[in-house]
C-alpha cells in the first residue's frame, strides 16, 4: 500500500512540475490504459469512469472522433487531430489534449487564457518521457 501511495505522489509531482507549472495546463491526469484506472490527477480533476472510457475509445475509433467530436464532462469537443498517438480537441477557446504511450494515457486541458500550443507541447513532452521509460 505504501508503495502505491508513494508512486501516486511521484506521479502527482510529475504532473505538477511538467504540466501545471507551465501555466498553460488547467487540469491533467495519467490513466493506465489496460484497466482505465486513474493513476494520478490534479486537485479537483477526477474524470468519471464513463469519461475515461470515452477518452480511451477516441483512439480505437479516431475516424468517429474526428467526425462526431469527443464528449468529455458534458461538453462536445471538436477534434482537430486524431491519430493513433494523439487526440487534440477544442470547444470554443478551451480544449483537451490526449496523448497515448504504450501503457498510459495522458490528459491535459486548457482554458481560453492559456496557449493551446504550449499545452500540447507540455503533454507531448511528458509522453515522450514515459515512452523513454518504456511506459
pLDDT of residue 7: 60
Cell of 95: 480544449
pLDDT in tens, 78-94: 999 988 899 999 999 99
Contact between residue 36 and residue 26 where contact means Cβ atoms under 8 Å apart: no
**Model confidence at 32: pLDDT above 90:** yes
Q: Average pLDDT in the 19-34 region?
A: 96
Domains of the chain in sequence order:
1-134 (3.30.450.30)
CA neighbor of 131 nearest in space, from 93, 101, 104: 101
pLDDT at residue 1 above 50?
no
Q: How far from the centroid of its chain's Cα atoms is residue 91's Cα?
A: 16
pLDDT bracket for residue 6 (50, 70, 90): low
pTM listed for this prediction: 0.90
Amino acid at each position: 500500500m505504501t508503495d502505491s501511495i508513494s508512486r501516486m505522489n511521484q506521479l502527482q509531482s510529475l504532473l505538477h512540475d511538467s504540466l501545471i507549472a507551465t501555466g498553460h495546463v488547467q487540469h491533467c491526469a495519467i490513466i493506465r490504459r489496460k484497466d482505465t484506472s486513474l493513476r494520478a490527477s490534479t486537485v479537483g480533476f477526477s474524470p468519471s469512469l464513463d469519461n475515461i472510457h470515452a477518452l480511451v475509445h477516441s483512439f480505437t475509433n479516431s475516424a468517429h472522433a474526428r467526425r462526431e467530436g469527443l464528449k468529455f464532462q458534458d461538453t462536445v469537443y471538436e477534434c482537430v487531430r486524431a491519430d493513433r498517438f494523439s487526440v487534440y480537441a477544442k470547444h470554443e477557446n478551451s480544449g483537451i489534449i490526449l496523448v497515448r504511450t504504450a501503457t498510459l494515457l495522458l490528459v491535459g486541458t486548457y482554458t481560453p487564457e492559456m496557449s493551446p500550443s504550449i499545452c500540447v507541447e507540455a503533454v507531448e513532452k511528458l509522453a515522450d518521457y514515459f515512452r523513454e521509460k518504456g511506459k
